[in-house]
């Protein structure tokens, strides 16, 4: 929190006089009339009417002291899946403060990939982390099982770590995730990486045999075990649900559906009154990971960190969206609807997730912890705040970012007449099991998880 005490003004600083109209430094002995004329026409960094001007003139040309040089970190970070939310967040802040990055991109499609590739402090390596045999060019590489004929792109992975001292790794379901994750860890150890940060998730069945495993998370759990086994100096971050997942597009699980009356409705199997961890991945992953690198493995080696800055029920999420958007937002407790074509591996994940977080569960205390480990969940959001104290919360996201994301995806609801929200009691609709929407294979549906709009052609929103 910023201090409420006024900052003391130092009187022992020698301020430089402002340049004259001709560009020369004016003499301290200039007449008062000349000084008056100069100050009248010299532009400050802020307008005269700006509230910032009243607080401090230290930002003006006249009063700005000399800058102090700051050493840049002489480190290179290896990053995979660089167009994903987590990786892109880290790349932005890491390069801004002086780190160099070696980044793997699946392809050059979309504005995120373009942004990464144009960053002068990033060396880009384009290619998949898996390889196909020619006879297997039609195989679905997202299925969570052994994939004969689908190999690991070891040359690309090895090249990525050449000269890297640090690594941030967030594997995805394209290719055999466990094999790829193990190959990446091997390459990092061979390259002598000093601190390896892996974005992990739990295998719920490892905590309670009655809980089903979520395939995509269980794969990360296996990779984490391997990283520990080979003795890499590593830290494991468990990210909460992305605020950025919400969209009015018909994507499963986080569709914030725009209703005819201008309100929004979110349907999900999570119990309305059970807490869940939340994270603005785009805004807050980067600063947190940078702090991990600054602290180093001497402080964080082997530790798991709950990277989530809010612990909110679905009802509280909808209340935050209401405040941010000025529109009614209603939560509907029900099954996951599949109304677009999705990768088979992600379909398997959603089916398991609906079993784990059953829409038929009427008791919030019976909902399994999102991170599997109850102790890890109890450290939310303290773990994250120990790394970065300036997160963007759900209400701020809804107010400032969600409309921009929606506009970028071709929506125009934010330009229509505003619907002011009146204070009302929470409304939860139990959707039961009678909903349509299991038509993921219908040829008339949209072309799967592809965002089309002004901002992007393809968004790796799942990562």
Would you place residue 199 in the very low, low, confident or very high pLDDT band (cuts 50, 70, 90)? very high
Residue 63: which H helix or E strand, with range? Answer: none
Q: Are 87 and 81 in contact (CB under 8 A)?
A: yes
Weakest-pLDDT range from 2-6, 197-201, 275-279, 401-405: 2-6
Residue range 89-98, pLDDT digits in tens: 999 999 999 9
pLDDT at site 13: 37
Q: For a pLDDT cut of 70, what percent of the chain falls above it?
A: 73
Q: What are the contacts of 387-391 at 24+ separation with CB within 8 A? A: 387/287, 387/288, 387/291, 387/292, 387/305, 387/307, 388/284, 388/287, 388/288, 388/291, 390/287, 391/279, 391/280, 391/283, 391/284, 391/309, 391/310
Q: For a pLDDT cut of 90, what percent of the chain falls above it?
A: 67
Examine the pLDDT at 260 and tell me if it is beyond 50.
yes
Q: Are 94 and 286 in contact (CB under 8 A)?
A: yes
Weakest-pLDDT range from 303-317, 321-335, 425-439: 425-439
Give the integer Cα–Cα distance in Å for 22 and 291: 46
Indicate the burial class of 81 (C-beta count within 10 angstroms; 0-12, 13-18, 19 or more).
buried
Q: What are the contacts of 417-421 at 24+ separation with CB within 8 A? A: 417/262, 418/326, 418/327, 419/261, 419/262, 419/263, 419/326, 419/327, 419/328, 420/326, 421/322, 421/323, 421/326, 421/327, 421/328
Examine the pLDDT at 454 and tell me if it is beyond 80.
no
Examine the pLDDT at 277 and tell me if it is beyond 90.
yes
pTM to 2 decimals? 0.78
Q: Over the chain, what is the mean pLDDT?
A: 81
Q: Are 326 and 418 in contact (CB under 8 A)?
A: yes
Q: How far is CA 136 from the centre of its chain?
A: 33
Q: Return the closest-CA partner of residue 275 out of 176, 179, 368, 203.
A: 368
Q: Are 394 and 278 in contact (CB under 8 A)?
A: yes
Pairing type for strands 122-126 and 100-105 reads parallel
Over residues 370-386, the mean pLDDT reads 95
Examine the pLDDT at 104 and tell me if it is beyond 70.
yes
Q: Are 269 and 358 in contact (CB under 8 A)?
A: yes
Examine the pLDDT at 460 and tell me if it is beyond 80.
no
Residue range 54-80, pLDDT digits in tens: 333 344 444 555 555 556 689 999 999
Q: Which residue has the higher pLDDT, 301 or 10?
A: 301
Examine the pLDDT at 420 and tell me if it is beyond 80.
no
Task: Determine the Cα angle at 282 with ends 157 and 74, to 5°.
Answer: 55
Q: What residue ranges do the domains of the chain occupy?
A: 76-430
Of 66-70, 221-225, 247-251, 446-450, highest mean pLDDT: 221-225
Weakest-pLDDT range from 203-212, 242-251, 335-344, 430-439: 430-439
Examine the pLDDT at 26 and tell me if it is beyond 70.
no
Of 28-37, 247-256, 426-435, highest mean pLDDT: 247-256
In the numeric block, which tokens belong to residue 107? 């392809």
Q: Return the closest-CA partner of residue 437 out of 256, 270, 260, 250.
A: 250
pLDDT at site 132: 86
Q: Are 290 and 94 in contact (CB under 8 A)?
A: yes
pLDDT at site 24: 40
Weakest-pLDDT range from 149-153, 266-270, 347-351: 149-153
CATH for 76-430 is 3.40.50.720
Would you place residue 38 in the very low, low, confident or very high pLDDT band (cuts 50, 70, 90)? very low
């Amino acid at each position: 929190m910023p201090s409420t005490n006024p900052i003391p003004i130092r009187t022992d600083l020698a301020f430089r006089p402002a340049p004259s109209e001709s560009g020369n430094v004016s003499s301290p002995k200039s007449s008062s009339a000349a000084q008056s004329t100069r100050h009248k026409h010299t532009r400050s960094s802020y307008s005269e009417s700006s509230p910032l001007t009243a607080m401090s003139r230290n930002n003006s040309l006249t009063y700005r002291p000399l800058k102090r040089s700051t050493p840049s970190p002489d480190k290179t970070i290896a990053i995979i899946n660089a167009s994903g939310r987590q990786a892109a967040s880290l790349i932005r802040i890491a390069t801004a403060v002086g780190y160099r990055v070696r980044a793997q991109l699946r392809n050059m499609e979309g504005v995120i990939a373009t942004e990464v590739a144009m960053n002068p402090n990033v060396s880009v390596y384009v290619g998949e982390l898996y390889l196909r045999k020619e006879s297997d060019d039609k195989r679905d590489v997202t299925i969570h099982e052994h994939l004969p004929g689908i190999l690991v792109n070891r040359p690309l992975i090895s090249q990525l770590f050449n000269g890297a001292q640090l690594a941030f790794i967030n594997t995805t379901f394209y290719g055999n995730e466990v094999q790829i994750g193990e190959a990446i860890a091997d390459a990092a150890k061979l390259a002598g990486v000093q601190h390896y940060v892996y974005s992990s998730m739990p295998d719920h069945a490892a905590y309670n045999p009655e809980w089903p495993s979520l395939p995509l998370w269980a794969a990360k759990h296996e990779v984490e075990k391997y990283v520990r086994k080979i003795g890499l100096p590593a830290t494991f971050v468990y990210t909460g649900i992305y605020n950025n997942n919400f969209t009015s597009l018909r994507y499963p699980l986080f569709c914030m559906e725009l209703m005819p009356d201008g309100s929004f409705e979110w349907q999900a199997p999570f119990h309305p009154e059970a807490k869940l961890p939340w994270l603005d991945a785009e805004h807050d992953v980067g600063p947190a990971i940078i702090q991990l690198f600054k602290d180093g493995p001497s402080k964080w080696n082997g530790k798991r960190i709950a990277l989530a800055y809010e612990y909110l029920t679905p009802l509280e999420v909808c209340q935050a969206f209401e405040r941010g958007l000025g529109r009614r937002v209603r939560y509907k407790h029900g099954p996951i609807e599949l109304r677009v074509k999705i990768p088979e591996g992600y379909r398997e994940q959603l089916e398991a997730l609906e079993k784990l977080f059953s829409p038929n569960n009427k008791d919030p205390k019976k909902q399994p912890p999102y991170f599997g480990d109850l102790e890890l969940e109890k450290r939310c959001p303290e773990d994250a705040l120990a790394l970065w104290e300036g997160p963007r919360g759900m209400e701020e996201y809804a107010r400032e970012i969600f409309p921009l994301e929606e506009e970028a995806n071709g929506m125009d609801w934010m330009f229509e007449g505003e619907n002011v929200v009146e204070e009302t009691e929470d409304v939860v609709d139990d959707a039961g099991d009678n909903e349509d929407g299991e038509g993921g294979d219908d040829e008339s549906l949209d072309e799967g998880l592809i965002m089309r709009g002004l901002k992007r052609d393809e968004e790796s929103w799942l990562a």
